Amino acid sequence: MTKDEFGDLLAEIGGGPHIGIAARRERDAAEHGTLSQHGDEFWALLCLGDALHQFYRDTLSLVAEAMSSTQLTPTQTTMANWHLVCFNRFAAAFDLMAHGYYFEAMMLGRDLWEVALSLAGVQKNVVTLEELLALNVATLKEAEELSRKVDQKIRRVLIQENASLSTSAREAVQTFLRLANLATHKSKLHLGLNLSRMAKQQDIPLFPHFDLQRAGATHNVLCLGTWSLLSTLPYLYFALPAAELGWHAMYGKVQVAFREGLARGPNPTVQALPVVIQHVFGA
């Protein structure tokens, strides 16, 4: 098939010479309308995401400078690069939520949580970097098995057997995991919502739209996922020396912003999250 022939094929699929423009405009309009409503209902979360994204970016700039002039250990290098990997996911999670992609935002929030747990596991000597990255295995099957065992060990030590966590804190984590798992695994959360609408003979929207209940759930997932990740920034002490007083002062304000953001959220049960952050991710 030639380039012109392939272009003709795409034009047929996309509805004419301006391929997909109608669908794109419809989606843009839906996203804009959703964002406008979020601005009224969830302004604190949206502004929190933007502010923290800038702080995260400034932090990574300091880390990059240190990495270019300091001899780092393999663990330090991995921790720093894991944050670099998460930077765009952090921004994408808030952006997706703002435009009505709730379940997709939850999936990214779950990923940020998983990275934070891995970093905490290494920092607190629950697992080694070699175990976490499955560096000394011969086959893919062995790597998958080791990865599952390592993840289970981290959860067991940091959460399940962590005597410092209150009952409400454990319940907050379980609520987060239940939502995140359903959103992630085979999109069961979204599927269940659509089937429920069908049973009630309601329309199933094709494009994003504002949904207060779904936005509230996503708010809670993003708060725990992103707060957990940013709570591991002090692990990068080797790139953020104590002399950098401006950073440390700003980091204290970040913790206040998270607490205040939770206070403006829709679900009071997430008030237990500060305990989770302190006793699971505290440096």
Model pLDDT, residue 43: 85
* 182/188 Cα distance (integer angstroms): 5
How far CA 122 is from CA of 77, 118, 241, 283, in Å, comes to: 13, 6, 20, 11
Are 34 and 105 spatial neighbours (Cβ–Cβ below 8 Å)?
no
Element (H, E) at 44: helix 43-69
How much is the pLDDT for 269? 55
Nearest Cα to 51, choosing from 282, 274, 256, 278?
A: 256
The pLDDT value given to residue 238: 86
Which pLDDT score is estimated for 27?
94
Neighbours of 2 (CB within 10 A): 7
Identify the pLDDT of residue 9.
Answer: 92
**Residue 71 gets which letter from DSSP?**
-
CA 100 centroid distance within chain: 16
- pLDDT per position in the chain (283 positions), as tens? 999 999 999 999 998 888 889 889 999 999 999 999 988 878 888 888 899 999 999 999 988 888 888 788 989 999 999 999 999 999 999 999 999 999 999 999 999 999 999 999 999 999 999 999 888 888 999 989 999 999 999 999 999 999 999 888 888 888 888 888 888 888 998 999 899 999 999 999 899 999 988 988 888 888 889 999 999 999 998 888 776 678 889 999 999 988 887 766 555 556 677 888 988 998 6
CA distances from 182 to 39, 103, 174, 186, 220 (A): 27, 9, 12, 8, 15
**Quick one: pLDDT at residue 70?**
79
pLDDT at position 254 is 93
State the pLDDT at residue 166.
Answer: 87
Structure tokens at 5: 């022939």
The whole-angstrom separation of Cα 129 and Cα 71 is 18
The residue type found at 3 is: K
Query: What pLDDT is stored for residue 271 in this prediction?
Result: 66
